[in-house]
Amino acid sequence: MISRSLGFWAIGCFVVGALGAQNRPPMAVRQELRIDGGTHDFSRIVHLAVAANGSIVVAQPDDGMLRFFDARGTKLGSFGRKGEGPAEFRSIGVYRGWNGTVFWQGDILLGRAVLIDDALKNAGTVSLPAIPPAGAFILPAIVGILPGGDLLVHATYRQSPVPPQWARGITAARTFVVLRVNARGDVLRLLGVLPQTADGCVTVVNGRSRPVPECAEPYGAASPDGSRYAMVEPYTSGPNNGKYRVILVAAGGDTVFSALIPYTARQIGRTEADSIRRAKVAGVKSDLLAKDYMEMPLPTVFRPVHGALVAAGGAVWVALRPERDGRRWVRVDRTGKVTGSIVVPHNVTLHVISSSQAWGVEHDEDDIPSVVRFRFAG
């Protein structure tokens, strides 16, 4: 997941009268699988991935390990450990995907992706190539591996004295970019441009820069096979106030759709603002940080969007602000229309959604993670 202000280029944009669709009763959801974290001694889980046959990858960064289960929840085995060898990881993050039946796991600290075949054996390594101009990129990472060997890469681009052709339209000193590159590092296409920080998400309090709680930051996500990239940008002011924009871009550069979708805003009153500040203060040890949180101005509304996922079929799922009944995810189909929603319990974070199933991580009262799968129809 990318939490940045998103400025993707899109061809046209239509406004979807979808508030009624979002407020319709959600599709019925039932839990059909639970892989118990206590039984399997799960440590922190940073992501899940699901193969076409339903097998599940559970990523545990604290152990440098990927654990594999079949569609029924039976353990198949594990792969990896801490280190820098061919089948080792210095970091296991959220960047991962599929190249056919081969799973790949990104390692941003080693600048590579490790490939694992369906026998849970090392199938090689894809290194992040040097992308010219030298020294112009901060924290580049592979976010997609395409058939034929091209890569989707995102990074912060620092403006260079002589910008490359693809960056001629970029004027900001630092800009987050999504690129399609070949194995040599040649930029084949600029897919998107994301301003470095979301407007209003960082403020200065008592001379110190601080992130703003409940700031309406956007989200981006790649499809499991890297063939599409989606972003969701909510607006809480200006001409698009009360809407969020969903854009889906193909790796070839075409815009699949661009749509503005209305949401119901919830105001942050004085009581809610006091609760937000107290919660932030309770979670910090620094007196200076606690002072800044107590004096920081807050947004006027709660952030409406809390995540985004792209399904294998191309639908974009948008996580809205949790409500009393749970966490609502809205489905936007490949034409940009809202076609339904599901609600999962508050203690579940979804990582993968298909046309009829959703996989997530559930945390119990002791914060032990378990893997759960839901089925829905509609």
Contact 264, 257 (CB under 8 A): no
Neighbour count for residue 28 (Cβ, 10 Å): 11
- One-letter identity of residue 171: T
Burial class of residue 78, CB neighbours in 10 A (0-12, 13-18, 19+) = middle
- pTM for the model stands at 0.90
Nearest CA-CA partner of 345 in 307, 374, 377, 304: 374
List pLDDT tens digits, range 172-223. 888 888 899 999 999 999 998 765 544 458 888 999 988 899 999 888 899 9
Contact 192, 249 (CB under 8 A): yes
User: Which value, to the nearest 10 degrees, does the dihedral of the CA atoms of residues 293, 299, 305, 307 take?
Assistant: -20
pLDDT of residue 345: 97
Contact 7, 177 (CB under 8 A): no
Question: Cis omega before residue 133 (within 30°)?
Answer: yes
| CATH code, residues 14-266+301-376 | 2.120.10.30
Nearest CA-CA partner of 259 in 337, 166, 144, 352: 337
List pLDDT tens digits, range 228-241. 998 888 999 889 99
Contact 320, 328 (CB under 8 A): yes
- How many whole angstroms separate alpha carbon 1 and alpha carbon 222? 8
pLDDT of residue 352: 98
- How many whole angstroms separate alpha carbon 118 and alpha carbon 239? 49
Distances (CA, A) of 40 to 1, 303, 310: 26, 35, 28
Which ranges of the chain have pLDDT less than 50?
1-12, 197-199
